[in-house]
A = this chain, B = another copy of it.
Amino acid sequence: MPTTDTSRPRGARGEYAKSALRRQEILDAALTVFAASGYRNASVREIADRIGITQQGLTYHFPTKDALLAAVLRARGERDRALFEADAQGPESHLRAVLELLERNQATPGLVELHCTLSAEATSADHPAHEYFQERYAGILGRTRQVFEELRAQGRLREGADPGRCARALVALMDGLQVQWLLSGKQVDMVADVRAHLASVTTLDLS
């Protein structure tokens, strides 16, 4: 569902003035609220209140709650994709980008909470973002696996390490640390822990 284009307002000549700003305001507020409460527990009204319009006013920009979620996820996806496409020059720079992403996440708790809450929620087959997360994880795991395969080809993977396993472990470690980070009041240094893990699996120096 989050793949559909869900925008509503369209200027007569294709240009939209205040609408684009409003939409961005809404997306920011939605991110915050979805992150704090999850999708199902969040209410459109709460999001609308946050920017000073009514629930029905918001409906003009995003006709349904699902459409709003889809837009939020699409925005996040684009942001993250930009980071990784920029440094696609090899396995080492990819892993550096991962650490960079983690660093950035540590500065934006809202995004981490969003991912944490939604990915767990979307585990249910009937969740509106279920397919989205299935595909997202399959994609990430596939690309990460390839990174470790390239590393192995370069002889930079430690003896006995399996690329597929390494990929799953890296992704799992990041997800799991986020829960600890959130529950501990941000007392965990996720970047340092992941860096240490990568050092135990590869011969790279990712300082």
| B119 x A184 contact (CB < 8 A) | no
Q: How long is the Cα–Cα vector from A183 to B124 in the complex, in angstroms?
A: 8
Residues of A within 8 A of B (CB): 36-38, 40-41, 113, 116-117, 119-124, 133-134, 137-138, 141, 158, 160-162, 165, 168-169, 171-177, 179-180, 182-184, 188, 192-193, 196-197, 199-201
Main secondary structure of the interface of A (DSSP, over half): helix
Q: Identify which of B117, B138, B161, B177 contacts A120 (C-beta below 8 A).
A: B117
What's the number of copies of this chain in the assembled complex?
Answer: 2
With most chain B CB atoms within 10 A of its CB, the pick from A117, A161, A179, A197 is A179
With most chain B CB atoms within 10 A of its CB, the pick from A36, A172, A184 is A172
| A180 x B188 contact (CB < 8 A) | no
Contact A180 to B171, CB < 8 A, known contacts A40-B41, A120-B119: yes
Residue of B nearest to A185 (CB): B134
